[in-house]
Chains A and B, each alone.
Chain A
Amino acid sequence: AQSVAQPEDQVNVAEGNPLTVKCTYSVSGNPYLFWYVQYPNRGLQFLLKYITGDNLVKGSYGFEAEFNKSQTSFHLKKPSALVSDSALYFCAVKANQAGTALIFGKGTTLSVSS
């Protein structure tokens, strides 16, 4: 069965500093990996995905993530954090099979201070 671990409940960074939100996964076969963001009282908003190809994927709002197969990780990064990036971030994994569901991690709250 597939699973996702987000080891940090909260990440605190100062505005302008780089940020990393960690994610590791477990899945049979090749994974499809996703990051979603949730602002307060809002739905889940797609940020980026890794399906195949380049290990470094770029997404919305300047975010990027690096797929590392040997470490089974897919950490979310941004070179320079903004206060408006403060939100709840979810990593998700899907097995490479039709019909299998996207499974989410427990989420990491990112807090960017000015």
Chain B
Amino acid sequence: EPEVTQTPSHQVTQMGQEVILRCVPISNHLYFYWYRQILGQKVEFLVSFYNNEISEKSEIFDDQFSVERPDGSNFTLKIRSTKLEDSAMYFCASSGGTIYGYTFGSGTRLTVV
């Protein structure tokens, strides 16, 4: 069964550093998403991406964050100048269209120290 792949599985970074979280969505999917989950709590929407541009973003997704699909297969989330409160599990997801469910990756656990 097709999978969404995320790397790394765990990243530790110092406060103020930039991190890039990487995702390889399912190859024929058109919609891509980033979510985060703090300490096994609520899953929060960050951003959706379609046709090489952001289609929707939440209040969390401020200027500190950016997304990119650099080469037609990878989908990245960049966090500039990380803060302690950015520590969370970040999930990438992809979908084939509006009526389909999302397939989630296994997540990247980001720890900011």
Name A residues whose Cβ lies closer than 8 Å to a Cβ of B.
32, 34, 36, 38, 42-46, 49, 51, 88, 90, 92, 94, 96-107
B45 touches A103 (CB 8 A): yes
In the complex, A100→B9 CA distance in Å?
A: 27
> Which residues of chain A have C-beta atoms less than 8 A from B48's C-beta?
99-101
Which of B40, B55, B102 lies in contact with A102, CB distance below 8 A?
Answer: B102
A106 touches B101 (CB 8 A): no
Contact A43 B55 (CB under 8 A): no
- CB contact between B104 and one of A44, A51, A100, A107 (< 8 Å): that residue: A44
Smallest CB separation, B57 vs chain A (Å): 9
Separation in Å of the B76 CB from the closest CB of chain A? Answer: 18
Q: Do A102 and B33 have beta carbons less than 8 Å apart? A: yes
Residues of A within 8 A of B50 (CB): 98-99
A-B contact count (CB 8 A): 61
Q: B93 contacts which chain A residues (CB < 8 A)? A: 44, 102
Which B residues lie at the A interface, using CB under 8 A? 31, 33, 35, 40-45, 48, 50, 55-56, 58, 91, 93, 97-99, 101-107
Docked-complex contact B43 and A44, CB < 8 angstroms: yes
- Known contacts A90-B43, A107-B42: A42-B106 contact under CB 8 Å: yes
* 22 A-B pairs (CB sep. < 8 Å): A32-B98, A32-B99, A43-B91, A43-B105, A43-B107, A44-B93, A46-B101, A51-B99, A88-B40, A92-B43, A99-B31, A99-B48, A99-B50, A99-B55, A100-B56, A101-B48, A102-B93, A102-B102, A103-B45, A104-B42, A107-B41, A107-B43
